[in-house]
Amino acid sequence: MEEMNILMEQRLEKAQQMKEEGLELFQYKYDKQHTVAEILKTFEDAAEEETGDVRTAGRLMIKRVHGKTGFADLKDDSGHIQLYFRRDVVGEEAYKIFKRLDIGDIIGVHGTIFRTHSGELTLFVKDFSLLTKSFRPLPEKFHGLQDKELRYRQRYVDMIVNDDVRERFRNRSRLISLIRRTMEKAGYIEVETPVLVQMYGGADARPFMTHHNALSRDLYLRISLETYLKRLVVGGLEKVFEIGRVFRNEGLSKRHNPEFTLMEFYAAYHDLYDMMDFTRELILACVDGMGYESRKVAYGERTIDFNLPWKSISMVDAIKEYTGLDVLSMETEALRSKLKEFNPDLDTKKMGQGKLIQEIFEATVEEHLVDPTFITDHPLEISPLAKKKRGDETGLFVERFELFINGWEMANAFSELNDPMDQEERFRSQEANFEAGDEEAQRLDEDFIRALQYGLPPAGGVGIGVDRLVMLLTDAETIKDVIPFPLLKDEGK
């Protein structure tokens, strides 16, 4: 840190001297006519003779001065190119400025292209401008994979020096564009719903609370997109989707950030099985669009096979397949005792049969679901917004699937509950759980019930975690790698 302060002081002193000499350190604009990538492509066959006329701009990353000549490396968003300076070409005063430039300074350059004796395509600088003076030197520790915590905190520096980081965020944008195009092609329209809500719902999660001063009212940051999107379906928009931030007051992990990007989509007159088919199409469109022609994706040491068919199995049958347990034949206390074997620290006292089955599934099955697998028939107790399963005489299960890939939940879907009386009854049951201390229980949303009373068509709905999908298709180790500015603990903790 002390060395950094000394280097920064030296740069500040140099900048002050340059200002006193009348140099402008922070320009308003520059006529950048070519990206580095365009220059490299246009002149890829260039010989040693000078050719072309180019004007580009970027950040100075390397500088070597040899008397009357100098070399530098210029980097923009598209790539790197070598620069060649000669004092007799740019002029005495300009060459003095070049020698005083620091790594990290942003410059604009104009010149011609040639190839050096060693074969490197090079921009022969005829004139240049200092566009932005960099006061803070780039720390060496950002290179490679060192000090990842510092890289997350100072993502702007991480992106300057690590090309793969910028590429991952370009791929994130590319993937979201693929999703949008696929949704629009299927007839869905993109909408926006409130972030600040009076009643949170649509997921089992603790919310963040805030306060609106003018209205003197407590509000929540949304934890889901679901109930407002369904209101729009009630209003006559038959196919809707939203890609937006949601906020859950939960811990940090490799796959969890308290604020994350969720996509939800709803289609009137569709059910769970229609949504399963379309979810498969959507994920495959993303895999294909990101260039995985074989539909096999390498993630860490695993290879995930997206080729059809994808497995579909009920939650109860999956538990039996991987553990041998027939959970439907077990009493609640036996389920509770068995769950304690898998997860001794879990408080199971207030869990009913359905919740216990889900927890056993999470503890024993999820990690095995590497290739895409639909887990169907979830307990009603944990699915207050889904329709009961057709033909289920036990009344224990609903029409719901979760899509698992690489052991992660990637999508969650229902045949949507559209009976307002049934929905209100379930909300009241959840409300009782909330009053008993379950902070993640659904709350009674009276306006949502009112909307259902006007009539929600039969509908299917799906939610997909966009960040996890980006992680999967860019081989990112943690969700922090695919969110530009993740939430972090305080420095030093």
Give the domains, in start order, of the chain with CATH numbers: 2-137 (2.40.50.140), 160-310+371-481 (3.30.930.10)
| pTM value surpassing 0.85 | yes
Three-state SS at 199: coil
Report pLDDT for 150: 84
- 486 in Cβ contact with 257 (< 8 Å): yes
Peptide bond preceding 309 in cis form (omega within 30 of 0): yes
Instruction: Report the C-alpha gap between 265 and 244 in whole angstroms.
Output: 12
Report pLDDT for 266: 98
- 464 in Cβ contact with 411 (< 8 Å): yes
Nearest to 426 by CA among 154, 133, 142, 204: 204
Q: What are 131's two structure tokens?
A: 């566009």
Render the burial of 98-110: b for 16+ CB within 10 Å, e for the rest.
beebbebbbbbbb
Report pLDDT for 1: 58
Report pLDDT for 281: 98
Nearest to 481 by CA among 470, 491, 489: 470
Alpha-carbon distances, residue 78 vs 34, 40, 56, 125, 355 (angstroms): 10, 10, 11, 19, 50
- 112 in Cβ contact with 52 (< 8 Å): yes
Report pLDDT for 109: 98
Q: Average pLDDT for consecutive 10-residue bins of the chain (493 residues)? A: 80 95 96 98 92 97 95 96 98 96 97 95 98 91 64 92 94 98 98 95 88 96 96 98 96 91 98 98 98 96 97 98 96 94 89 94 97 97 92 94 98 97 88 68 85 98 98 96 92 66
Instruction: Report the C-alpha gap between 357 and 373 in whole angstroms.
Output: 18
Report pLDDT for 145: 43
Report pLDDT for 437: 65
